[in-house]
Structure 1
Amino acid sequence: MTRKSPDLADAYGLKTSEDSRKLYAGWADSYDSDFADRQDYILPQETARAFVEAGGHGPLLDVGAGTGLCGVALAGHGAHPIDATDISGEMLGRAMLKDIYRDAIEADLTQGLPVPEGSYAGIISSGTFTTGHVGPDAITELLRVARPQALFALSINAKHYESAGFQAKFNALGSDITDLTLKDVPIYGPKASGAHRDDRAYVALFRKA
Structure 2
Amino acid sequence: MDALDSNPLLRLHWGMSNKTPDLHAAYALKTSEDSKRLYAEWAGDYDEGFAALEDYQLHIHTARAFVSAGGQGPVLDVGAGTGLCGAVLAGLGVGPIDATDISAEMLDEAMRKDIYRDAIEADLNHGIPVPRDSYSGIVSSGTFTHGHLGPEALPALLRIARPGAQFALSINARHYEALGFADALQQLQKDQIENLVLPTVRIYGDLAAGPNKDDLALIALFEKS
Query: Structure 2: which amino acid aligns with 1:147?
Result: R
Structure 2 residue 221 is the aligned partner of structure 1 residue 208:
no
**Residue 190 of structure 1: aligned partner:** 206
Structure 2 residue 67 is the aligned partner of structure 1 residue 40:
no
How far off is 1:132 after superposition? 2.9
Task: Give the one of 87, 90, 100 matched to 2:105.
Answer: 90
TM-score normalised over the length of structure 1? 0.98
TM-score normalised over the length of structure 2? 0.91
**Residue 124 of structure 2: aligned partner:** 109
How far off is 1:62 after superposition? 0.1
Native 8 Å contact 1:131 1:164 kept in 2: no
Percent identity, please: 63
Instruction: Write out aligned runs for 1:140-159 (5 A).
Output: 140-159=155-174
**Residue 197 of structure 2: aligned partner:** 181
Partners of 1:206 and 1:50 in 2: CA distance: 11
Native 8 Å contact 1:125 1:153 kept in 2: yes
Q: CA RMSD, aligned part only?
A: 1.0
How far off is 1:133 after superposition? 4.1
Evaluate the alpha carbon distance shift between residue 46 and residue 196 of structure 1 in structure 2; reply closer, same or farther with a 3 A threshold: same
Partners of 1:169 and 1:4 in 2: CA distance: 37
Structure 1 residue runs of 5 or longer lacking an equivalent are none
Query: Structure 2: which amino acid aligns with 1:76?
Result: G
Moved over 6 A (4+): none
Structure 2 residue 133 is the aligned partner of structure 1 residue 118:
yes
Aligned length in residues? 209
Secondary structure at 2:64's aligned position in 1? Answer: helix
How far off is 1:160 after superposition? 1.3
Secondary structure at 1:162's aligned position in 2? Answer: helix
